Structure 1
Amino acid sequence: MHDAYQRRLRDLPLGGQRVVIQLRIRRFICGTPTCPRRTFAERFAQLTAPYARFTIRLNRTLERIGLALAGRAGARLAAHLGLGAGRMTLLRRVMALPDPSFPTPRVLGVDDFATRRGHTYATVITDGERHRPIEVLPGREAAPLAAWLAAHPGVEVICRDRAGAYAEGAALGAPHALQVADRCHLLQNLGQAVEKFVAAHRDALRCVVVPSEREAALAVTGDAHASPPDPIMAPTGRRAQRQRARHAMVPDLLNEGMSIRAIARHLGWGRHTVQRYARAAR
């Protein structure tokens, strides 16, 4: 034996009290003359890792807390449990974990999400049968998706939104896979189409009068002195209020001297949307 030194390891609390293990580590001299290492220390592989300050079981507990609650919330729970770990300690434990490996799914889900709305987007790939995310790709173009599908053969069904870039990437990376539209986007597109159709034919819908029970009875009896039905009031609701506010906003900006393109950039709308509000009389 060459010498010894002390190591302090934090362990799981016991009875509500913090536990610190003091180890006396022995260092030995190698007896092989050609060994490049003159001395070496004994290891405690079942207790801790080299240069670690926590035991293995405490480290695993902090990993689970970090995965479940991340930084600040996990630090509050760790303090309540007597572990005394800060948010950066938990985040370092999570970042040190290896990325999980998943088999190539048979049913693949592809959709985009915004890391900064209106500026930065990414693509998330999910397992459609296990309902778990498996990969995040930069951007929302066709090339990253096609490259990922080419590197992971075996996908049979690709469930995606109706973006043309995803359709192109799926056709390039997995030409034999069946492409389907997910029900969320189908219902969303259907709702938007119905809403636009009703808004475009609102004037025609106002002419349709649903007769009341009294008017229906008078029509059956043939009473010619029946009073005409009351006119339908102007549309109400959140959508109508939102459209009136937008319609009032565009002329005000035009009166201030702003162009159609400047108003579109200022409000974050499309140019044709601003033109439609500018030309509408009401």
Structure 2
Amino acid sequence: MVLPEGRRARRTRERHAAVHALMDKGVSHSGIMAELHLDPKTVRKFMRAATADELIGTGPTGGRQTSLDGHAAYLTARFNEGCTSANVLHQELAERGLTISERTVRRFVHRLRDRAKPTSHPPVPKAREVTGWILTHPDNRPEVDRVALKELRDRCPDLDAASEFVARFAVMLVNLRGKDELEQWTTDAEAGSLPELRGFAAGLRKDWDAVMAGLSLHWNSGPVEGHVNRIKMLKRQMFGRAKPDLLRKRVLLAS
């Protein structure tokens, strides 16, 4: 029986693949640190390793030197034959002339049992995480998030459709293409199977002229909103400290 790798080994392989994928793109050491949120020493270790096997090691003990070295293969073979009792295996090792504590053998057997368990499914990402992946610009999306989002889109047609609609709307919003594309986008959303998008499209229809202006004209209410926010900040700073006449002077002099 071939035992599946443990969670730590799988994570090591995933990190090694992500680090070397960024290296192939020419990303620097500091860039890989920021992209994968890893410690500098950890990144350097993964960069130096040609393969993930160098980091994982071989054998059930993960490459570490233990008092079971030279007998691990025997224990693994006996475990695969069906002998899973640590007491029995400890007695057999004693008969082979090995002096070792039963606790050490028990820990080794526990590792074999853990690796023999079926691989558990990865945790389901939270809705907020998936929303962040969808709303992030593809060029700024980390490799790990990109792969996770692709897997989710492959499994869920509704999520795939929603991601496509969001991407199309983002292009209109950033490039002000509403005059050419808003009508088609809204029609597609109304004819789609997602009730949330159908409701959003209905809301666009109710204030169509304003939406069209926002997605096609360069003018916007940003400066006005900025002045309003600044005045509110001054009001909070002056609350309980001065009368309205001083507040008025601060507003006028700061503009």
TM-score, with length taken from structure 1: 0.19
TM-score, with length taken from structure 2: 0.21
> Which is higher, the Rg of structure 1 or of structure 2?
1
More helix by share: 2
More strand by share: 1
